[in-house]
Amino acid sequence: MIALSSFYFLIKLLGVSNLIGFIWAAAFHFKHPQKPDPRKYIISFCALFATGVNLFVFLSIHEIPIYQVLFSFCLFVTSAIIFWSAILISRGRLDFAFSKQNPSLIIKNGPYKYMRHPFYMSYSLTWLAGFVLSFNLVAGIAALIMFGLYYNAAKYEEKQILESELKNSYLEYTSNKKSA
């Protein structure tokens, strides 16, 4: 039983670590324009709410089926790998969600080689893992809200790129990618 309780602790620690990384990135990694779009505040507030829900869920669960733990563990680890590889590749050159700034680059290597929006994918995997870990209705609703916000942010960013001088380069880049 000690090994299983240690694994429960590890999964909670991994989930909290992902959330702390996301907060760090929002505050220090992404560029923040002088006049932000109001949607930046909406996505930030909802992310803080979802973080609070997940922290509560992580701290309140005790005994859960091992299949939930293992699946959540896989989601958390995948999320962390995608997130930190996107951090290393982007090196603070990207704007925070819903930026009104004209896009200045398209990153095509690292996780961007396999998906268009690795940060949104990483965040979504962590919200999903929190729900799978707990099957908590509020955590599920929070995850769905965040999925919708990330989808809208991704579409907004793609629209900006397609209206910029990066259009042809982006169309070439996306010709081999799905919308992830």
| Extents of the domains making up the chain | 2-174
Closest CA to 122 of 90, 161, 167: 90
State the Cα–Cα distance between residues 93 and 96, nearest whole angstrom: 10
The owner of tokens 């930026």 is 99
Domain 2-174 has CATH 1.20.120.1630: yes
Q: Residue 179: what pLDDT?
A: 58
State the Cα–Cα distance between residues 62 and 14, nearest whole angstrom: 15
Dump pLDDT digits (tens) for 72-112: 999 999 999 999 999 999 999 999 999 999 899 999 999 99
SS3 51: helix
Closest CA to 86 of 108, 60, 63: 108
Question: Is residue 173 predicted with pLDDT exceeding 50?
Answer: yes
8 A C-beta contact, residue 18 and residue 76: yes
For the chain, the C-alpha Rg in angstroms (whole number) is: 17
Span 42-69, average pLDDT:
91
State the Cα–Cα distance between residues 48 and 145, nearest whole angstrom: 12
**Strands, DSSP E only, in 34-135?**
none
Dump pLDDT digits (tens) for 108-148: 999 999 999 999 999 999 999 999 999 999 999 999 999 99
* pTM, two decimal places: 0.93
Dump pLDDT digits (tens) for 20-33: 999 999 999 999 98
State the Cα–Cα distance between residues 149 and 156, nearest whole angstrom: 10
Q: Residue 33: what pLDDT?
A: 83
